[in-house]
Amino acid sequence: MKRSQRLILGILVSLIFLYFAMRHVQWAEVWQLFREARYFYLFPALGLLVLINITRAYRWRLLMYPDVHIPLARIFRFVNIGYFFNNVLPAKAGELVRAYLVGRMITGGIGQALSTLLIERLLDVLTVVVLLVVLIPFVDLPTWATRGGILFGAGAVGGTGVLIILSRFGERGVDWLWRFLGRVPVIGHPKLKRALQNLVDGFRVLTMVRLLPGILFSSALIWLGYALFNYTLMAAFNMAEVLPFAAAALVLCATGFSMVLPSSPGAMGVFEWAAVQALAVYSINQSKAFGYALGLHTFTNVSLILFGLVGLIREGLDYSRIRKEVMEASPEGISEK
């Protein structure tokens, strides 16, 4: 699918979910929610976002092993720059930007960098699944949500297990698997085999006993930080008095899973809908839930865009130039020339 088609599809999906998220909203209630908000809570929330991204940078550097020579401050800026591009360009373009920036500095190039980002995403999915399982005894979730989350998580766990096993065999394992996948039309393309090899090579880091505790602990800290961030925004909107911390964690799970859907830059619409559905479990009316979701999402995206702009300035990078170079360096950009 071409970039223009993905952009149109993403915008259409976002508009549909935005409609469902706000179709019964009473705007007077939303305005009252913002008028009565305690905005001083945004300062600790901003600090939490910084700490979360520092932890993300630390984990990402662990996943780059043995290329751990890049200073943590630079990786932190790359993380912020990636979020900036995710919020202004479609199709998670920030991931390609991050891979490009780091790929210039590690031995495996962009291929290795992309594999670390794929591992990072799988770790995030697995952490959210664990969080959802922990919440099940404490939250009266709809059956479909519980089953869907567990099935999705089981698929992620299974896929991760297969990749870890293949990583133990290296190139021989990929060659064996390709005896079967190579015969499948489209999937059996040589470029996909190279991508799978890069991914399998990257997964070797998860078999290193001395690195695994740091990777797992930082993953837990990242998502605990996000839950605390959500709860801090609940306090800002005077909702923490009536909602438990589990509500913030449930919003985190719902919005985390919603990110797999195609959407506009910044994931507008799907995020709000997911948050509204999560808060409905606690009988929060749609107007108040939508106001909270809108405030949470807007504050997050604006903060990440500002962090990214600072990162671009500190790295001496130009937006137009980096966008052009990344599109040319990406496999899709090459294929479309």
- Give CA–CA dist 313/219, Å, rounded: 28
- Give CA–CA dist 6/313, Å, rounded: 29
Q: Residues 222-268: pLDDT tens digits?
A: 999 999 999 999 999 999 999 999 999 999 999 998 888 888 888 89
| Spatial contact of 204 and 166, defined as CB atoms under 8 Å apart | no
Domain membership of residue 71 as a residue range: 3-335
Question: In whole numbers, what is the pLDDT of the chain averaged over residues?
Answer: 88
Judged by average pLDDT, the poorest of 7-11, 159-163, 268-272 is 159-163
Overall average pLDDT of the 306-312 stretch: 96
Q: What is the pTM of this model?
A: 0.88
Overall average pLDDT of the 88-116 stretch: 87
Helix (H) or strand (E) holding 108: none
pLDDT band at 218 (very low <50, low <70, confident <90, very high): very high
Highest-scoring range by mean pLDDT, 40-44, 88-92, 116-120, 253-257: 40-44
Overall average pLDDT of the 21-26 stretch: 94
pLDDT for 285: 96
With a cut of 80, say whether residue 156 has pLDDT above it. no
Between 133 and 221, whose confidence is greater? 221
Between 84 and 109, whose confidence is greater? 84
Q: Residues 277-289: pLDDT tens digits?
A: 999 999 999 999 9
Q: Residues 40-72: pLDDT tens digits?
A: 999 999 999 999 999 999 999 999 988 888 999
pLDDT band at 336 (very low <50, low <70, confident <90, very high): very low
Judged by average pLDDT, the poorest of 58-62, 126-130, 324-328 is 324-328
Alpha-helix runs per DSSP H in 66-108: 72-88, 93-103
For the chain, how many structural domains are there in total? 1
Judged by average pLDDT, the poorest of 114-128, 179-193, 280-294 is 179-193
Using the structure block, give the residue that is written with the tokens 């905005």. 39
- Give CA–CA dist 171/124, Å, rounded: 26
Overall average pLDDT of the 125-135 stretch: 88
Cβ neighbours for 17, distance < 8 A, ≥ 6 positions apart: 261, 263, 269, 270, 272, 273
Give the HSE-up count for residue 278: Cα atoms under 13 Å, Cβ half-sphere.
Answer: 29
